[in-house]
Amino acid sequence: MQNKLIAQNAKERYDMRALNLTLLTDLYELTMMQGYFKNPTDQIVVFDAFYRKNPCGGGYAIAAGLEQIIEYVRDLHFSPDDIDYLKSLKIFDTDFLEYLRGFHFTGDIYAVPEGTVVFPREPLLKVIAPVMEAQLIETAILNLLNHQSLIATKASRVVYAAKGDGIMEFGLRRAQGPDAGLYGARAAVIGGCIGTSNVLTGQMFQVPVKGTHAHSWIMSFPDEYTAFKTYAQLYPNACILLVDTYDVLNSGVPNAIRVFKEMRDSGIDLKGYGIRIDSGDLAYLSKQAYKMLSDAGFEDAIISASSDLDEYLIESLKAQGAKINSWGVGTNLITCNDNPAFGGVYKLAAIKNKDDADFIPKIKLSENIEKITNPGNKTIQRIYDKQTGKIRADLICMEHEVFNPDEDMIIFDPIATWKKTKIPGGSYTLRELLIPVFLKGECVYTSPSVMEIQEICRKELNTLWDETRRFANPQEVYVDLSDELYQIKSDLLKKVGQASIE
């Protein structure tokens, strides 16, 4: 209870330092809002937030950022300062600005829970709201969803490459600003990192914080041995010594061994001790260091490595037999350097008048097939193999559709429609992914803790086949359309296409 109170107080202090995020939006969201205000409508719309391509050439992504979206929507309001600023732009009329003074979100939001494995084209978040409300929140939703989903996905790949070794995130000093470091670390822990160097993230989200010391610590002492000994006296139960300041094998490791022997001889029960290598040929140096440590009776010492690591380098080092069992990953994780943008989008999918029962599906056309949207008020049914628990496919379907897992299901590729698969009845289970988060403007969902989300993510990743998690040419998980949704989409394509010709 005390830890939760500390975390809550930390969040509140950070929020007080932060700006009101209501104006964290693109100007055109507000100009469109004024247009709707000047041309009154009672339209209720459905917007889908989704992405088109898996990051890093992978076979999946991890949904993250929902807790921050909830906080944003819950606090959505225009302060007097916001109104004064918008007035100074001289593009908004007084009556519209007065409307904004009392603005708050009144609609529904459905979302995939954080930590869930997701795939391209399926809605990660769905907004059902009056058109002005749904339009305003687009930018902030994408900002929060895109960033954390990207970093959580990257982290899960790095963790997978380490094959059970611990991954520590320590990219704060290379992150693109405080928020990217703070929430990037949160997402990295969701993706499987055992901890972060970011102390504020640790305080706010109650996740483990970890760290050793810098080269400057070594250099500030007369010699390396004295620096190691002093550090060991301060932190005998977490003594990881950085051994590459001068010479790893001729100085660093021998001095570390000397200190470890002195600790052992003084009766200290060595726990959480070892070395860290931050440069050089990590495969060669770790194997030589392991031999030296083992010969001295310290075969259980941690050998940690850093130095511009990513999933590909870790995978290579593991293949080379590197004797590394702990990894510190910074720049390439917190920036997702090989794929710096998640690419999520927010598209109108359906519309109706307030008193109408049914939505009218809407579709966006494009010369690029992947940019043609899926129309209608939809949800996602995940199909699991009953025997293995692995994902067979995802089915995007209309919100009202019901399926019986005791009956055969035939799914097909919505583009290459001749590619069909029959899933026998009784051999699969179903799970609806989108859950209610806001209903009529009220939040109805409580976010789990970050460590609970990490466990959700771990279980989710275990539902993927190994072929989907590999880095080179991963097997694609099928994301298909139900017969009803496919027919609606086909009819709209014909109708809109014919209208454009005429």
Contacts of 185 (CB under 8 A, 6+ apart): 169, 171, 172, 196, 197, 198, 201, 207, 334
- Please give the single-letter amino acid code of residue 128: I
Are the beta carbons of 304 and 276 closer than 8 angstroms? yes
What's the pLDDT score for residue 367? 83
Residue 295 lies in a domain: yes
Residues 219 and 299 both lie in one domain:
yes
Share the mean pLDDT of the chain: 95
CA distance 149 to 178: 18
Residue 146 lies in a domain: no
User: Average pLDDT in the 429-445 region?
Assistant: 98
The first and second tokens of residue 237, run together, are 């139960």
Spell 463-490 as b/e; 16+ CB within 10 A means b.
Answer: bbbeebbeeeebeebbbbbbeebbebbe
The CATH number that applies at residue 231 is 3.20.20.70
What's the pLDDT score for residue 499? 53
**In which residue are the tokens 């993510």 written?**
457
Residue 285 lies in a domain: yes
CA distance 379 to 110: 9
Return the half-sphere exposure (C-beta side, CA atoms, 13 A cut-off) of residue 289. 35
User: Average pLDDT in the 485-497 region?
Assistant: 91
Residues 386 and 296 both lie in one domain:
no
CA distance 148 to 184: 6
What's the pLDDT score for residue 397? 98
Helix (H/G/I), strand (E/B), else coil: 487 = helix
Residues 385 and 482 both lie in one domain:
yes
SS (H, E, C) 274-341: EEEECCCCHHHHHHHHHHHHHHCCCCCCEEEECCCCCHHHHHHHHHCCCCCCEEEECHHHHCCCCCCC
What are 403-416's pLDDT values in tens digits? 999 999 999 988 88
**In which residue are the tokens 């993250």 written?**
64
What's the pLDDT score for residue 337? 95
Contacts of 289 (CB under 8 A, 6+ apart): 243, 248, 249, 253, 275, 277, 303, 323
Among 305, 338, 354, the domain-final residue is 305
Residues 288 and 391 both lie in one domain:
no
Residue 401 Ramachandran class (φ > 0 left, ψ -120 to 50 alpha, else beta): beta
What's the pLDDT score for residue 344? 97
Nearest CA to 111 among 61, 191, 48? 48
What's the pLDDT score for residue 416? 85
Residues 496 and 381 both lie in one domain:
yes
What's the pLDDT score for residue 5? 66
Residue 304 sits at φ, ψ, to 5 deg, of -105, 145
Residue 289 lies in a domain: yes
CA distance 154 to 370: 23
Among 305, 331, 355, the domain-final residue is 305
CA distance 200 to 396: 39
Are the beta carbons of 179 and 71 closer than 8 angstroms? no
Residue 110 sits at φ, ψ, to 5 deg, of -115, 145
Whether pLDDT at 261 is above 70:
yes
Whether pLDDT at 302 is above 60:
yes
Give the Cβ contact number of residue 86 at 10 Å: 19
Residue 332 lies in a domain: no
DSSP 416: S
What are 446-462's pLDDT values in tens digits? 999 999 999 999 999 99
**In which residue are the tokens 């040929």 written?**
281
Residue 387: domain span: 373-433+472-502
Residue 383 lies in a domain: yes
Residues 279 and 402 both lie in one domain:
no
Query: Please, which residues bridge with residue 409 across strands?
Result: 423
Residue 395 lies in a domain: yes
Residue 408, CA distances (Å) to 37, 303, 344, 402, 424 in order: 49, 52, 33, 13, 4
* Residue bearing the bigger pLDDT, 416 or 213: 213
The first and second tokens of residue 495, run together, are 């109708």
CA distance 23 to 36: 18
What are 356-400's pLDDT values in tens digits? 999 999 999 988 888 899 999 999 999 999 999 999 999 999 999
Are the beta carbons of 155 and 314 closer than 8 angstroms? no
Nearest CA to 111 among 136, 148, 76? 148
Among 249, 274, 305, the domain-final residue is 305
- Please give the single-letter amino acid code of residue 347: K
Residue 167 sits at φ, ψ, to 5 deg, of -115, 125
What's the pLDDT score for residue 20? 84
What's the pLDDT score for residue 3? 67
* Residue bearing the bigger pLDDT, 502 or 83: 83
What's the pLDDT score for residue 17? 43
Q: Domain tally for the chain?
A: 2
What are 2-60's pLDDT values in tens digits? 666 666 666 665 654 456 899 999 999 999 999 999 998 899 999 999 999 999 999 99
To 5 degrees, how large is the angle CA 322–CA 325–CA 327?
Answer: 95
Residues 286 and 396 both lie in one domain:
no
Contacts of 69 (CB under 8 A, 6+ apart): 109, 111, 125, 140, 141, 144, 145
Residue 301 lies in a domain: yes
CA distance 116 to 118: 6
Residues 379 and 502 both lie in one domain:
yes
CA distance 308 to 443: 41
What's the pLDDT score for residue 487? 96
CA distance 332 to 340: 10
Burial class of 65 by CB neighbour count within 10 A (0 to 12, 13 to 18, 19+): buried
Residues 419 and 495 both lie in one domain:
yes
DSSP 367: S
Residues 298 and 409 both lie in one domain:
no
The H or E element containing residue 32 is: helix 27-38
Return the half-sphere exposure (C-beta side, CA atoms, 13 A cut-off) of residue 265. 7
What's the pLDDT score for residue 16? 41
Residues 381 and 300 both lie in one domain:
no
